[in-house]
Amino acid sequence: MEAIFTPGMIAPAHTHSGPEAWYTVAGETCLETPQGKQIGRPGQYVIVPGGAPMHLTATGTELRRSLVLILHQSPRPATTPTDEWTPKGLCKD
């Protein structure tokens, strides 16, 4: 799928039943997980293992566009909101 975020837009804490990978085409995304943060910039990819809680924030000033693949278990939803983990705010500008 294609994901488009305006600067400052967030995806609340959630998990996937399988791994997620995305390739950033434009803009910038900060991904926070319990292991820390990763920044996805144009030409870079980010991979998150299945089941890991995550919180995304579109950072910078440019529209974030990325190509996304979520390999989820078919009997389970691709995305599940979670309140079992609280981000520390590592992606705040």
Calpha distance 62→53 (Å, rounded): 26
pLDDT (tens digit per residue) in 53-83: 999 999 989 999 999 999 988 888 889 999 9
Calpha distance 17→77 (Å, rounded): 7
- Report all structural domains of the chain as residue ranges with CATH numbers, in order of start: 2-73 (2.60.120.10)
pLDDT of residue 78: 86
Q: Average pLDDT in the 19-41 region?
A: 95
pLDDT (tens digit per residue) in 8-28: 999 999 999 999 999 999 999
At 93, the pLDDT band (50, 70, 90 cuts) reads low
pTM: 0.89
Calpha distance 80→62 (Å, rounded): 27
